[in-house]
Amino acid sequence: MYELVKILNNNAILVRHPDTLRESILMGKGLGFHREIDMNEVSKVFHIQDSEEKQNYLHLFESVDPEVLNAVSEIVGMAKEHLGSLHPSLFIVLSGHLDFAVKRFREGHNLDNRLLWEISQLYPQEFAVAMEARRLLNQRFNIFIDANEVGFLALHLNAGRLHQTVKEALRRTNLIQSLLLLVKEKSPQEHWDYVKVQHIDYFKDLFYRLDGGIVLRNPLLPYLHQLKEEEHLARILAEKIRMETNFNLSEAEIGYLAIHLNQFRNMA
């Protein structure tokens, strides 16, 4: 079915389909030791779409620790079971990230993740999968990956789930953190640890609507003048969102945001 083109490492080979000439990478324990391809030994297949992707895969399999590649393959498989379809580039991006991370943790170098709480609240499913990935990596490489790295892993998983880049996921998370800080600064509230969870849930739903082009009607708009301070803050938040994303909040959305802010303003 396939012709061997190149042995990449002990567990990965580059192959070509003789009829279509389409190239793929096959993964499987010990595949690189054999000249004959036994598909029963193949655990993972990566179909190459273009020359750029080919070069990315070749660089990855020739430079990254094969044990890291095997671990990432398991993590991506586990993530698909819990999160559904993931962008194919996740394997490449996550392999490069974790190869560096494993080296860092072996040397005792940890990175601080100032968005850890926001990530855990915004992407709970991805965070749960990242916790499982952490256990796998700790056992496989005899290291101790901390919670900060779990947050970074969850960001990568979220990006793969939404077919975005990690930079896009990070930008959205940074924006929501900024919105929370604005609310805390301009509308001090009791029991902030509880209240900020409610705010982050609201912003998560808000961006879901904005991303999906969902338009709301707000029959309470005529009464919005009664919430002057909350309306003012809602417009500040709306302008922040516009500047960072180019999303223009409708009057209906601004009204609902003001009502949401009012719910927690005088919380005892």
Please tell me the predicted confidence (pLDDT) of residue 114.
95
In angstroms, the CA 206 to CA 70 distance is 38
Strands 3-9 and 12-16: antiparallel
Please tell me the predicted confidence (pLDDT) of residue 33.
80
3-state helix, strand, coil in the chain (%, to 5): 65, 10, 25
Q: Give the N- to C-terminal CA distance of the chain in Å, as an integer.
A: 70
Q: How many CA atoms lie less than 13 Å away from 228 in the CB half-sphere? A: 0
Nearest by Cα to 62 from 102, 14, 133: 14
Burial (Cβ within 10 Å: 0-12, 13-18, ≥19) of residue 91: buried
Cα 187 to chain centroid distance, Å, stands at: 30
- Strand ranges (E), the chain: 3-9, 12-16, 23-27, 44-47
The answer to whether 256 and 235 have CB atoms below 8 angstroms apart is: no
Give the sheet arrangement for strand 3-9, strand by strand: 3-9, 12-16, 23-27, 44-47
**Amino acid (one-letter) located at 50:** D
Q: Which residues of the chain have pLDDT under 50?
A: 268
Return the residue matching tokens 């005088």.
266
Contacts with 198 (C-beta within 8 Å, 6 or more apart), sequence order: 263, 264
Please tell me the predicted confidence (pLDDT) of residue 226.
87
In angstroms, the CA 262 to CA 247 distance is 23
Backbone torsions φ then ψ of 4, nearest 5 degrees: -75, 125
Please tell me the predicted confidence (pLDDT) of residue 268.
44
Please tell me the predicted confidence (pLDDT) of residue 266.
62
Total Cβ atoms within 10 A of residue 223:
10
In order of start, what are the domains of the chain with their CATH numbers?
Answer: 3-50 (2.30.24.10), 66-164 (1.10.1790.10), 189-265 (no CATH)
Q: How is residue 220 written in tokens?
A: 């309470």
- Ramachandran sector of residue 109 (left: φ over 0; alpha: ψ -120 to 50; beta: rest): beta
pLDDT digits (tens, 9 = 90+) for 57-110: 888 988 999 999 999 999 999 999 999 999 988 999 999 999 999 999 999 888
